[in-house]
A and B are shown apart, each in its own frame.
Chain A
Amino acid sequence: MQRLLRFVDGVSTWVGQLFAWLIVALTLLVSWEVFSRYALNHPNPWSFDLMIMMYGTAFMMGGAYTLAKNGHVRGDVLYRFFPPRLQAGIDLVLYIAFFLPGVIALVWAGYFYAAESVAINEHSTLTANGPPLYPFKIVIPCAGVLLLLQGLVEIVRCIICLRMGDWPSREEDVEEVDVDKLKAMVRQEPQ
């Protein structure tokens, strides 16, 4: 069971980290575009569409990754003081009450939305001869399915926690405030 959980975590993480490179690419693209427009006097009409698509794709595909790492913001004023079993119970109920209907609806709606876009071979209308828009819309159901899978894994985690009395472990990942790393950073600085 734990292996299956880890596997889905791994998939979400891998996809999320893959799409994280889009942010690096976006940085370079916009920087290049600015340079190209002002220094070379050669603006690219497709760049704005591309920027939006890169941003939208990056954050949508990162959703499951963030969920796998428990990174979505939660109001933890009370939550953090709850014993694990109560946490898991609340989470389980709310995953079923809120998460599943919301995300299933998103996948369902996103599927038809994207299918329609593919059917009419939709292109962006921001500029004349805009780039195709349907790959961007296909991202919605894809991100939704990934999120749904990860959500199911989280539900299983809740059930495990309810049984065992403690949360099953997660794979480690880079964290925003990693005290050990920050300590090392401060120490190794010369002077």
Chain B
Amino acid sequence: MKKEIWFGVIMLAAVVVGVLAFMPPPSEMSNGHLGLLMLALVVVAIMLGFPTAFTLMGMGVLFAWLAFHSRDPAVAWQQTLDLMVQRAYSVMANDVLISIPLFIFMGYLVERANLIERLFKSLHIAMARVPAALAVATIVTCAVFATATGIVGAVVTLMGLLALPSMLKAGYSTQLAAGAITAGGCLGILIPPSVLLIVYGATAGVSVVKLYAGAFFPGIMLAALYVGYVIVLAKIKPALAPPLPEAERHLALPALSEQLAAGGARRSALAGLAGALRSTGVPRGPVLGQMGVVLLPALAFVLIMGASYRLVTSPVVVDSAAAGLEFSSADEAPADASGASPAAAGGDAGLAEPPASDALSEPPPADGLAEATATATATTTAKTVTATTAAAAEPALTPAEKMAADGERRPAPKAFWITLGIGAAVLLAFYARFNFHRVEIFKMMLGSLFPLAILILAVLGSIVFGLATPTEAAALGAFGGILLAAAYRRFNLPMLKESSFLAVKTSAMVCWLFVGSSIFSAAFALLGGQELINAWVLSMDLTPLQFMILAQFIIFLLGWPLEWTEIIVIFMPIFIPLLPHFNVDPLFFGLLVALNLQTAFLSPPVAMAAFYLKGVAPPHVTLNQIFLGMLPFMGIQVLALVLLYVFPDIGLWLPRVLYQ
């Protein structure tokens, strides 16, 4: 056997011996000590590699029986069995965990829609001028894709196949490339909608909705820190990430655009197309199509501003109609966003829909702006939904009546006009620089980034703004995943089968772990182990800061040998009861834990992400290089943890604004 194994076995033996040494002699042993012994034993048993769910279940049953036996031997068996089946049933009937299979299912569907290559290509061309363009594009691709799928292994493997060869070919240092891929791939477990936060919410009894709202900005912050680090590094040491050669940046224009661009030199695409429309000898249809794509940003801007104008000036905000629309748009957006038609028409609807849904608080007839500009789909949806709600709901409920009733609107606040002005200026500047080259990039993004972003934002938005429960949003997300896959012609029966089989296996894994751990923690509580730990921690007389550092350090250490599921379901029930003593918000603690567990994926020598990458990397990339590349990113994770602790508002601001 290798040295490492001996080292590990000796460590395990040391844990057992250490715990036994701390135990009082058997005559004085209380049930609480038995509980601690059980905790130590379970750590050892897990490290031995037996499926954790059953380790917990078996230990839980044995120790629960011991606990009941010490009270009343006669009914101990009956009580143990009752406890066990009730715990199992409570997991089966858990209304928080129900969204887990749905989110997992959505992840597998989106993964199989195979957007990642388009996403990476379009981002990398769009960012060609940024220093370390490929690495930045890698991180952003990972962040978006991992957020939508939540499957670390698949994202790292795919990016290892796609991004690693391109980065190595472009002369990037192996370590930087490996670090960017592994760190980026792990973002999916933090940025909502993530399964980790549901598991934490179910364990700690914290609202998943608040967790999602809270984790949004820390997740973005971490991704931004990664990107910032890569850019700064490329500025300081360009040798690590040389800029792309001109040939790589070049993007072939379609013949029509080539022709127009050649005529007008470096003119803006808008002017070029307008000119083409007037002149003869150019086919009309394609030009109009191009024009539609080019006008999209303006359209979106007009829609958003129009909608918000209505919103800020409308006398009463009624949410029933808006809610109805948000729902239908949530499941329709991905469909429209990518319909069978080419990117132009598809993206059109996708862009227009979310703003249109805001515009819903107004009746379509009164709404000149949206009417005129919204795409056919968006307006029909809007109309049908408003019509149905209007018909079904009490007449007084619809905004139309309200407005008719008091007849006048509030004047728009100054902030609105300022935003409008700035927005218009930005838009003008954007169009001035929007040449044919950029139009092509924009089109590529329409086909890759926007559908995914809209899917994520629709799911997340409907949860965070309280329009749907996480379960409903997850189901709609999975449905959106089916539509997305269908739109990219990836949807077929084998694919649906595979996704659902994988989803049932992964959810069985997570939920059986829950069954095991809830039996285990019941036994732990019965034995009084929790009280012993509480008393012990309180006797240390820690300040909240010390406690937090200690807790996060322990979780960091646990992340080395264990997976995040195990850490959360086994150890959070031990930490959570301590939080009130130190005035720590369980929501805030959850955000810190989620951030902290990112490191669990990157800590050598057992980091899963590294092994996934190694599995597909060219042979000359060694595991050591990958580990070395991950280290700076681990440092950034710790930095993010500190930042979040020092400025809790990064995480707590959004939930506070929304839910208070």
Residue of A whose beta carbon sits closest to that of B506? A176
Contact partners of B28 in chain A: CB under 8 A:
none
Subset of 5 A-B contacts with CB under 8 Å: A33-B472, A39-B388, A75-B562, A86-B1, A99-B50
Is B457 part of the contact surface with A, judged by Cβ < 8 Å? no
- By a CB distance below 8 angstroms, the chain A residues around B498 are 174
Q: How far is the CA of A71 from the CA of B85 in the complex (A)?
A: 23
List 8 tightest A-B contacts by C-beta distance, closest first.
A79-B49, A98-B58, A30-B475, A56-B92, A62-B508, A102-B57, A109-B81, A72-B51
A186 touches B58 (CB 8 A): no
CB of A82 closer than 8 Å to a CB of B? yes
Pick from A39, A65, A113: contact of B328, CB below 8 A: A39
User: Which residues does A use to contact B, with CB under 8 Å?
Assistant: 16-17, 19-24, 26-31, 33-35, 38-41, 48, 51-52, 55-60, 62-63, 65-67, 69, 71-83, 86-87, 90-91, 94-95, 97-103, 105-106, 108-110, 112-113, 136-137, 139-140, 151, 173-177, 179, 182-183, 185-186, 189, 191
Find out whether the CB atom of A140 lies under 8 angstroms from the CB atom of B512: no
A55 to B503, CA, bound (A): 12
A75 and B505 in contact, given A140-B85, A140-B88 (Cβ under 8 angstroms)? no
The answer, yes or no, to whether B276 is at the interface (CB within 8 Å) is no
Q: Which B residues touch A52, using CB under 8 A? A: 92-93, 95, 98
Pick out which of these stretches binds chain A: B59-67, B310-318, B366-374, B399-407. Answer: B59-67
- A35 lies within 8 A of B509 (CB): no
Residues of A within 8 A of B324 (CB): 38-39
Bound-state Cα–Cα, A51 to B54, Å: 26
Q: Are A75 and B478 in contact (CB under 8 A)?
A: no
Cβ A77 vs Cβ B566 within 8 A: no
A77/B606 in contact, CB under 8 A: yes
Per the bound structure, the CA–CA distance linking A98 and B519 in Å amounts to: 13
Segment at the interface with A among B150-158, B236-244, B347-355 = B150-158
Q: Chain B residue with minimal CB distance to A40?
A: B388
Q: Assess whether B50 is in contact with A74, with CB atoms less than 8 Å apart.
A: yes
Partner of A41, one of B153, B393, B482: B393
Taken together as a complex, chains A and B put the C-alpha atoms of A83 and B1 apart, in Å, by 8
Of B384, B498, B500, B513, most buried by chain A (CB within 10 Å of CB) is B500
Check B504–A27 contact: CB distance below 8 A. Answer: no
Contact between chains at A90 and B49 (CB < 8 Å): yes
Given A140-B85, A140-B89, the answer on whether A73 and B503 have CB atoms closer than 8 Å is no
CA distance A170 to B318 in the complex (A): 58
Say if the beta carbon of B18 comes within 8 Å of chain A.
no
Contact of B504 among A29, A58, A185 (CB under 8 A): A58
If A35-B328, A38-B327, A136-B92 touch, whether A65 touches B504 (CB-CB below 8 Å) is yes
- Residue B9 at the A interface, CB < 8 A? yes
Contact call B55/A98, Cβ cutoff below 8 A: yes
Find B509's partner among A72, A80, A99 (CB 8 Å cutoff).
A72
Chain A: CB-nearest residue to B85: A109
The answer to whether B49 touches A76 (Cβ under 8 A) is yes
Do the beta carbons of B5 and A82 come within 8 Å of each other?
yes
Q: Which residue of B lies closest to A80 (CB)?
A: B49
B206 within 8 A of A: no
Contact with A along B83-95 (1 / 0, CB 8 A): 0110011011101
User: Within residues 601 to 637 of chain B, which ones have a CB less than 8 A from any CB in chain A?
Assistant: 606, 612, 615-616
Alpha-carbon distance between A57 and B508 when the two chains are bound, in angstroms: 10
Stretch touching chain A among B40-48, B175-183, B409-417, B649-657: B40-48
Whether A62 pairs with B505 at a CB distance below 8 angstroms is: yes
Give the residue name and chain of the B residue nearest to A48 (CB).
B95
Give 19 new A-B contacts, CB below 8 A, not counting A40-B392, A52-B92, A176-B153.
A30-B474, A31-B476, A34-B472, A38-B327, A40-B388, A60-B511, A62-B505, A73-B52, A99-B58, A101-B61, A102-B58, A102-B519, A106-B85, A136-B93, A140-B89, A140-B92, A174-B498, A182-B158, A189-B117
Quote the shortest CB–CB distance from A154 to chain B (angstroms). 9
Question: Chain B contacts of A74 at CB under 8 A?
Answer: 46, 49-52
- In the complex, A110→B82 CA distance in Å? 9
Whether B51 lies near A67 (C-beta < 8 A) is: yes
Q: Mark B378-393, 1 if CB is under 8 A from A, else 0.
A: 0000001100110011
Residue B552 CB within 8 A of the other chain: no
Q: Across the interface, which residues of A come within 8 angstroms of B62, CB to CB?
A: 101
Residues of the B chain whose Cβ atoms lie less than 8 Å from the Cβ of A33? 472
Pick the contact of A81 from B4, B97, B98, B385 — CB < 8 Å? Answer: B4
Minimum CB distance partner of A13 in chain B? B501
For the complex formed, measure the closest distance between the CB of A58 and the CB atoms of chain B, giving whole angstroms.
Answer: 6
Q: How far is the CA of A190 from the CA of B88 in the complex (A)?
A: 48
**A79 to B48, Cβ gap below 8 A?**
yes
Once the chains are docked, how many angstroms separate the CA of A38 from the CA of B45? 50
Neighbouring B residues of A97 by C-beta, 8 Å = 58
Shortest Cβ distance from residue A29 to the other chain B in the assembled complex, whole angstroms: 8
